[in-house]
Amino acid sequence: MKCLVTGSNGMLGSALCPQLSNKGFEVFMTDINTANSAISYLDIRDFNAVKERVGRLRPDILFHLAAETDVDKCQTCADHAYTVNTLGTENMALACQAYNIPMVYISTCGVFDGKKSGPYNEFDEPNPISIYTKSKYEGEKIVKNLLHNYFIFRAGWMIGGGLKDKKFVAKIVEILKTKDTLTVVNDKIGCPTFTKDFSECIIKVIGLGRYGLYHITNDGVASRYDIACKIVEYINRNDVKVIPISSDAFPLPAPRPDSEAVDNYKLKLLGIKMRPWQEALREYLQEINQDVKAPK
C-alpha cells in the first residue's frame, strides 16, 4: 500500500508516519515545513501542485492531516483559516476524486457547540462556534459530498508530538521548569487524545474497510485543570500548587465550547476500545523524558 500524507511534520504526522511504515505502508510524507529531509514540499493551498503530485504518485490511500491548527490565529485571520482548512481540504478531495483514491480526513471533536449535557456521538449535529472549527467542519462536508470512499476521524485534545508538541502538555511541562504554581482553566471539558493511540486506531479502522465518520479519543473526559493535576502527580512535583480558574479570567480570541466531550460511539458498537487518557498521558510524559513515578 502506497500512501501520501499531508502535514507529516506536525504533531500527529510524527506519530502516524512511523506507524504506517511499521505496518508496511510505503509512506510519502509532505508538508510546507520540510525541516526533516524525508518530507517533501507540498502546499495544500496550491490546487495545481496537489493535482500534479497526487496524479504522479497515485497513492492507494491519502491521509490529509495538514491544517492551520492555531485556533486563535484562525479567529483573527479567517481568510487564512478557510483557505488552508477548507479550500486546502477541497483540493485534496478533488484530487482523490479525479484519481479514485480513498481519503482520510482528520477533523476535530470541537465541531459541536458544547451545550449538550452528555458526550456527543457521531449522530449528533455539529454546530461549530469558532472560525477554526467552522473551517474544519466545512472540510468534512466537502469530503462527504465529493467522495464515496472516505474516512473522517474526529480527534479530541491532542497529546503527543515530542519536540513538535505545541499544545497543552508541552506548555505545562515548560512552565514547570521555572514555576511551582499553575493557574489552569477548569470550566471547559474535552477528551485527551494521544497521537500514538489515535494513529493505531485509525490504521485499525481503515483495515476494516468501513468508510465513514468516527470519533476517536482516549477514554474519559477531563478539564485542562484535571490534566495539569495529573501531569504534576505523574512527574512527582509535590511542590507544585495547581489553582483552578474560570475561563472568563483568561480571555482568548477564539471562543471555546464548554464541552468537547465525545463518545467513541461507533468504535464501541464495533467492539474497539481506547485506553484511559491518564494511562496515555503517563506514557507520553515518559516518552518525553519526564521523571515519571511508577503507578501505585
Ligand X SMILES: NC(=O)c1ccc[n+]([C@@H]2O[C@H](COP(=O)([O-])OP(=O)(O)OC[C@H]3O[C@@H](n4cnc5c(N)ncnc54)[C@H](OP(=O)(O)O)[C@@H]3O)[C@@H](O)[C@H]2O)c1
User: Applying CB under 6 A, which residues contact ligand X?
Assistant: 6-7, 9-13, 31-33, 43-45, 65-69, 84, 88, 106, 108, 136, 155, 157-158, 164, 167
Q: Which of 25, 194 has the CB closer to ligand X? A: 194
Q: Which of 225, 240 has the CB closer to ligand X? A: 225
- Shortest Å, Cβ 14 to ligand X: 8
Q: Which residues pair with 120 in a beta bridge?
A: 262
Q: Which of 51, 167 has the CB closer to ligand X? A: 167
Local structure of residue 100 (DSSP, 8 states): T
Q: Which of 128, 240 has the CB closer to ligand X? A: 128
- Shortest Å, Cβ 41 to ligand X: 8
Q: What angle do CA 68, 69, 71 make, to 5 degrees?
A: 110
Q: Which of 42, 101 has the CB closer to ligand X? A: 42
Alpha carbon distances (Å) from 36 to 9, 13, 25, 33, 249 = 8, 12, 19, 8, 39
**Alpha carbon distance 13, 195 (integer Å):** 9
Q: Which of 240, 261 has the CB closer to ligand X? A: 261
Q: Which of 33, 75 has the CB closer to ligand X? A: 33
Cβ contacts of 203-207, under 8 Å, gap ≥ 24 = 203/19, 203/20, 203/23, 204/272, 205/151, 205/153, 205/267, 205/272, 206/61, 206/104, 206/151
- Shortest Å, Cβ 38 to ligand X: 13
Question: Judging by beta carbons within 10 Å of its beta carbon (0-12, 13-18, 19+), is residue 204 exposed, middle or buried?
Answer: middle
Sorted by sequence, the CB contacts under 8 Å of residue 82 that are 6+ apart come out as 131, 135, 138
- Shortest Å, Cβ 29 to ligand X: 10
Sorted by sequence, the CB contacts under 8 Å of residue 5 that are 6+ apart come out as 13, 16, 17, 20, 27, 28, 29, 30, 62, 63, 65
CA torsion 30-33-38-44 (nearest 10°) is: 10
Q: Which of 6, 240 has the CB closer to ligand X? A: 6
- Shortest Å, Cβ 153 to ligand X: 9
Q: Give the type of residue at 240.
A: V
- Shortest Å, Cβ 289 to ligand X: 20
Contact 88, 136 (CB under 8 A): no
Residue nearest to ligand X (CB): 10
- Shortest Å, Cβ 42 to ligand X: 6
- Shortest Å, Cβ 156 to ligand X: 7
